[in-house]
Amino acid sequence: MRRYYLGMIGDAIQHNSENICCSRMKFNAAGMSSTPDETTPVPLCFMMNGSCTRTLHPFGVQLAIYVVCAIGVLITIMGNLLVMISIFHFKILHTPTNFLLLSLALADLLLGLTVLPFSTIRSVESCWYFGDDFCRLHTFLDTVFCLTSIFHLCFISVDRHSAICDPLLYPTKFTLRVACIYITLGWGVPVVYTSIFLYSKGIEEELGQFLQDLPCIGSCQLLYNKLWGWINFPVFFFPCLITIGLYIKIFIVATRQAKLIRNMNKKPRRSKHQTGAAKRERKAAKTLGIAVGIYLFCWLPFTIDTMVDSLLDFITPPVVFDVLIWFAYFNSACNPLIYVFSYRWFRKAVKLILTCQAFSTRTSAIDLYQEE
């Protein structure tokens, strides 16, 4: 959920802003008022009354921020693109679970393509230069993709719970049809929820009554208030709580199963195929558990800050807020890195893709799970 939204909210705000004396009060990029030095010109986002002030960084600092953000965006795009190509191309990866991973990678990829480049410019320049309509669209896409990620992680935890705790019925319970239903819900619920809150005139007017500060022009500031912050908190963390609860149970059951498998491996009738399949299921559960843990680690500081900040009249400095939101953004780059270090099949798939061998139709039937 964003703190940014429509710094230029139409003629009404522009009319009000004309009544503000720029020499007495300016608004910074976070919408908070400050009193500048009367003898020092204050840099503005736009040369007009009511404009946000612009935070000027030394060229070296700006360049460093751009480079770090660009690397993060590149890793997000390329990493998730490799995940999508791998699952699309190799037939052995066409499973319900991997289709959920594919949809998750798509959300992270679209975040990197459509949201992060503009967020980079906004963070470095401390101004929004892309207009009202795109500000609303940017906020919409940002919120949808972030919510879609947590919903998919929740559904993936349901899948892993079924695979580990009920392995005999798992093939009949979690089918391709069920995965498609989860994917539809994972995208549909965030789109509907975000559309209601960002494109409903009635709700926008109601939320506007809680505003304490007039948004300055050029901030792309969210109509953020106490009610909004507390509504968004359960939307993010209710799925997370379900996921954590399921993974606790998965961990307990997987530990018990590992002991049984070690005992059964001593018996000659235990097939290598059965042992390998059980190990893959536990490996998948462990890897996705790490992904959920990293998601919480990245998003928890930002979400708690926005909730507490709404109670303390938004005291978080803009620089701190930008650090927290980019820390959350970089979660989208983490999942492919987790797969690289955890999944042998993903490393083999990436090797085939990068060496252009995946362009051959013969490689689509390769068994990526086969030990070399």
Spatial distance between the Cα atoms of 64 and 362, rounded to a whole number of angstroms = 44
In CATH, the number for domain 11-354 is 1.20.1070.10
Q: What is the pLDDT of residue 25?
A: 36
pLDDT tens digits, 99-144: 999 999 999 999 999 999 999 998 888 888 888 788 889 989 998 9
pLDDT tens digits, 186-240: 999 999 988 887 777 655 565 555 454 556 777 776 554 455 566 677 777 788 7
Is residue 325 within 8 Å of residue 361, measured between CB atoms? no
Any idea where the domains of the chain sit in the sequence? 11-354
pLDDT tens digits, 330-360: 888 888 888 777 778 888 888 888 888 767 7
Spatial distance between the Cα atoms of 335 and 315, rounded to a whole number of angstroms = 32
pLDDT bin (cut points 50, 70, 90) of residue 77 is very high
Q: What is the pLDDT of residue 73?
A: 93
Going from the C-alpha of 184 to that of each of 107, 115, 162, 280, 303, the distances in angstroms are 13, 22, 20, 27, 25
Is residue 157 within 8 Å of residue 163, measured between CB atoms? no
Enter the pTM of the model: 0.78
Q: Is 217 exposed, middle or buried (0-12, 13-18, 19+ CB in 10 A)?
A: buried
In this predicted structure, the answer to whether residue 19 has a pLDDT above a threshold of 70 is no
Alpha helices in 9-131 (DSSP H): 11-17, 59-89, 96-114, 116-125
